[in-house]
Structures are given as structure tokens and as C-alpha cells.
Structure 1
């Protein structure tokens, strides 16, 4: 039975990329994925630094969203490059499990940071704090433009690969995250309602956390050698007996 192989093929991305079936990895447009992964990674660091300096939890939350998607894009690249490396006498099942290990690391890291953000948001309740809305808005606008570039790079290739289509959908979700940060920044700048930052951060966290936990469970299922999702073992047994 190909039990060791089939599990890993369905876990290409931390989000919806797991719907990219085996054949999609073979001809994945590497250039489009590489551009999107690079841009998303750069913006993650920009939002991380900007969030820490400006004091914006919303910006930090969106940075974690970007980290999650950047890692997912890198996993897609691993699936296309390393995952297709031929099996050998040292690795008789091949290297598809590399993407599972990367996904596991991604899920754990994002989940821990999301928990930290929630704790910080709760600690801010009822307290006064300052936010540098100038930096917050500048970084969020850069993120918006960068996500638009990534979406453009992936849009022309999304019909050629389910993996790329999944990446495109999540880059579009990143666009919405950047918009949420910009709206929060404008509200704070013109009304002084700093709690808008906390609200925006919790909304982004509510979007990211279920995806991170879902990825974590799916990777654990793979590592535990559970029956792949969508496979009915009883039906297989009937077919073999027949």
C-alpha cells in the first residue's frame, strides 16, 4: 500500500492549498510562486518591525497573517522542487514529507504568536496607549501594494495549477487584512479611538487562528499515518475483495 506517499500529497499549504492534487505539483509555475513568496516575506518583516515600533497590534496581527501565507507559499515551492526529487535507496518514499514538516513548523509558530497577540489585546482593555498612526498607515499601504503585486503575479497562472490558485486566493485575503489595518489607522488618526486597533487585530486573529489550527491538525494526521481524508477504507476493502 502507498500509505507513506499519499498522505503528504494533500497538504501543500497551510490554508486552502491542500486542495492542490498530486498532478498540480509537477507543473507548478515556480516563477509566480517565487515572486509571491518573496514579496510576502519582505512585507511580513516590514509589518513586524512597523508593528513593534508603532505599537499597532493590528499591524502585528496582519504580519502574522503574512507570515502564515509566506510560509504556505514556500511550502508550495518545496512541494514543487524538493517534493519531486526522485526516491533513492536512502529515501525510499521520496521527499514529499518535507512540506509536511514545514507546514507543522508554520502552524505551531503562527498559533503561538496569535495567542501572544490575543493576550496583549486583553491586557490593553481599559488602558491608555499610544499608536504611531503615521507609520502604521505607511506600512499598511506598502503591504496593500505588495499584495496587489503578488496577486498580479499569480493571477495569470492560477488556471494552470490548483496550488497557485489556492495561493492567489490567500493573497487576496492578505489584501483584506491590509485594508482592515488601514481603516483602523484612519479611525485612530481622525477620531482618537485607539481601541479600533485592538478590534482590527482581533478580527485578523479570528481569521488566521482557525486556519493555523486546521493546518496543525492535518499535519499531525499525516505524521500519525492516519487514513487520508476522503478515503473510505471499507470501500477499498470491498473493491479489493471483489
Structure 2
């Protein structure tokens, strides 16, 4: 999109929103999501310690890897709870959009930690391929089964929440990663019990790690796009400008900027000029309604410029 100078008359500037009085850009934090994450944090942190001790005693990398996931999850969930508390703060004069993006930062941190953890698991597995370690399959199986039950409960609790929240989604991905880790540990334990092949432990650890990488990377990528204020998925800015120019009364449309504010809020600004004889005050509502209905934008700012002014930029 062409660059433009914002130093011009804002007499035609208008916000298009259903409720302008007392308007806040910051959606309210879902308290039920915070409660769900708090519950899962408690059970995850408690079991992570049990699994770490069990993995060390059994000599199982699969259990240790899963314990590492759960320990990181405990930290991630704690970070998520802090993010919810900060995000619930009201906007102030300096941060007019509020603190909702703290949740995006937490989601980015969660995904990044998970990627680092999977890299560590693969590294440890390679070492065990070179030098196998004795694994006690019985204790390993017991601890893994308990871990599976804990993770299933955690996943069900989080899955029932609002998954449009990237903070909760990040926590859910961590728990699902742990669940897969428990499944891998169970499979490894059973395999070792019947075959004696201790190499199954690091093999399944790597498989679980690779399963988690894709989801973790997507979470990191999505968070980075939000922080870079990239155009929301499904919006082609140039095409949207062309669509606006077909609306009755709109002569020109340009300088459309759209970005994701939070998980459930997208914002856009656009400049338009009126056709001859058209009341410019009618355009903000018409243009804003089109963008809301067409692209699901929650807040649109429309600036009406003098006829022909957009062609000069």
C-alpha cells in the first residue's frame, strides 16, 4: 500500500462503532479461562515432581522428557495466569488499547519454551542411541499411566474453555504435548517389558517431540504475526480497498491498514473520499459496516478526505 502523510485536516475523521460512549478497545479477559488454567497448573505442577522422580529412578528418558514438558508447562501456566491478571487491568492514558497483548507475549513464550524443550529431548535421545541406558519398565509404566490420566483431565478442562484465546490455546498445546509424552512412555514401557529393547525409550521420545514441534511452531508464528501487526488472515488490503470503491457514494478508498489487536479483536483504519453531491458524514457508517460484515473487524476508523486527495499520494 502506498505511504501517505497523516499531517492533514482531520475534520472528516470519524470512528465507526456501535457504542462510542465509554468505548474501550480492550476486550474483557475471560475469567473462566483463568480458573481453568489455575486448576490445571496445580495438578500439573504436583505431578511434574512425581514424574521427575519416577523417571530418574526408572532411568527412562521418555518419562524425564514428559516430566520436562510438565515442568515447563507449570511455568507456562503460571506465566499465563500472570498474563491474565495483567490483561484484566483497565486501559490508561498511555496504553489506550489496554494490556490484552500480554497474553500474546505469554503465548509466544510458551511456544518458544516448548520448541527449546523438544530440541533438548532430541539431543538426549541421540546420546542414548550411542550409549543405551538400562530402563526399569515396571515403574516406568505405572508413572506413565498416572501421567496420562492427569494430562487427560487437564486437557478436558482447558478444551472446554474459549480456544479463541491464544493464551489458553498455548496452555492446551502444552498439556496435549504432555499427553502424547505419556502415551509414548506407556508404549515404550510395554515394549521394553516384552522385548527388552531399551532403545524404544529414546525412539518414542523423539517421536513425541516431533509431534509437538508443529503445533508449537504455529503458536510462535501466530504470536509473532500479531506483534508485528500483520494483516489478519483472510484480509487482502488492496482487494478490500477496491471493494470499498464500489460502494455507493465512495469515489476513492485507500491507505487501508488492518491488524489483530488481541485474539478476538481486529482493528482497521481507512481513508475514503465522497462522490460529488454525497454527504461525507454518511460514509463512515457505511464503510465501517461493510468492513465489519465482510471481514469480521471489531473496530473501524474511517477518515473522509476531500475529493481527489487520495490520488495525490
TM-score strictly above 0.5 = yes
The question of whether the paired residues in 1 share the 8 Å contact of 2:180 and 2:208 is answered with no
CA shift for structure 1 position 204: 0.6
Q: Is the 8 A contact 1:62 1:204 kept in 2?
A: no
Taking the aligned partners of 1:107 and 1:96, their CA distance within structure 2 comes to: 18
Secondary structure in 1 aligned to 2:95? coil
| Structure 1 residue 219 displacement after superposition | 2.6
Which one has the bigger helix percentage?
Answer: 1
State the Cα RMSD in Å. Answer: 3.3
1:226 paired with 2:223, answer no
Q: Does 1:98 align with 2:102?
A: yes
Tell whether the 8 Å contact from 1:47 to 1:139 is kept in structure 2 after alignment. yes
Residue 33, structure 1, aligned to residue 33, structure 2 = no
Say if 2:118 and 2:209, in contact at 8 Å, map to a contact too: yes
* Deviation digits for residues 45-85 of structure 1 (CA, Å, limit 9, x no counterpart): 43344334433221233234435655665566456443232
Conserved 8 A contact 1:148-1:175: yes
Deviation at 1:24, TM superposition (A): 8.7
What corresponds to 2:204 in structure 1? 200
CA 1:72/1:120 → structure 2, altered by over 3 Å: closer, same or farther? closer
Q: Secondary structure at the match of 1:125?
A: helix
Is 2:143 aligned against 1:139?
A: yes
| Aligned-pair CA distance for 1:200 | 1.2
1:199 CA drift (Å): 1.7
The one-character-per-residue Cα deviations of 1:162-212 (angstroms, maximum 9, x if unpaired) are: 358956687566444312211211221332110111121011101112222
The residue aligned with 1:50 is 54
Q: Distance in 2 between matches of 1:117 and 1:37?
A: 22
In 2, Cα distance between the equivalents of 1:231 and 1:206? 32
Distance 2:157 2:105 in 1: 27
Greater RCO (CA < 8 Å, at least 6 residues apart)? 1
Seen in structure 2, the aligned counterparts of structure 1 residues 173 and 41 have a Cα distance that, compared at 3 Å, is same
Larger radius of gyration: 2
In the alignment, does 2:213 pair up with 1:209?
yes
Q: Which runs of 5+ in 1 are unaligned?
A: 1-21
Residues 64 and 114 of structure 1 are in contact (CA less than 8 Å); yes or no, is this contact kept in structure 2? no
Does the CA-based 8 Å contact 1:75-1:103 persist in structure 2? no
**For residues 79 and 113 of structure 1, do their structure 2 counterparts lie closer, same or farther at Cα, with a shift above 3 Å needed?**
closer
When structure 1 is superposed on structure 2, of 166-175 and 56-65 the one drifting more is 166-175
Distance 1:133 1:168, change over 3 A: same
Query: Which deviations, in whole Å up to 9, do the C-alpha atoms of 1:78-97 show, x marking residues without a partner?
Result: 56443232111243331122
Map 1:151-230; keep pairs closer than 5 Å: 151=155, 153-154=157-158, 158=160, 161-163=162-164, 171=175, 174-230=178-234
Aligned residues: 218
Contact 2:87 2:99 in 1 (8 A): yes
Which consecutive residues of structure 2, in runs of 5 or more, have no partner in the other structure?
A: 1-25, 245-269, 273-286, 288-313
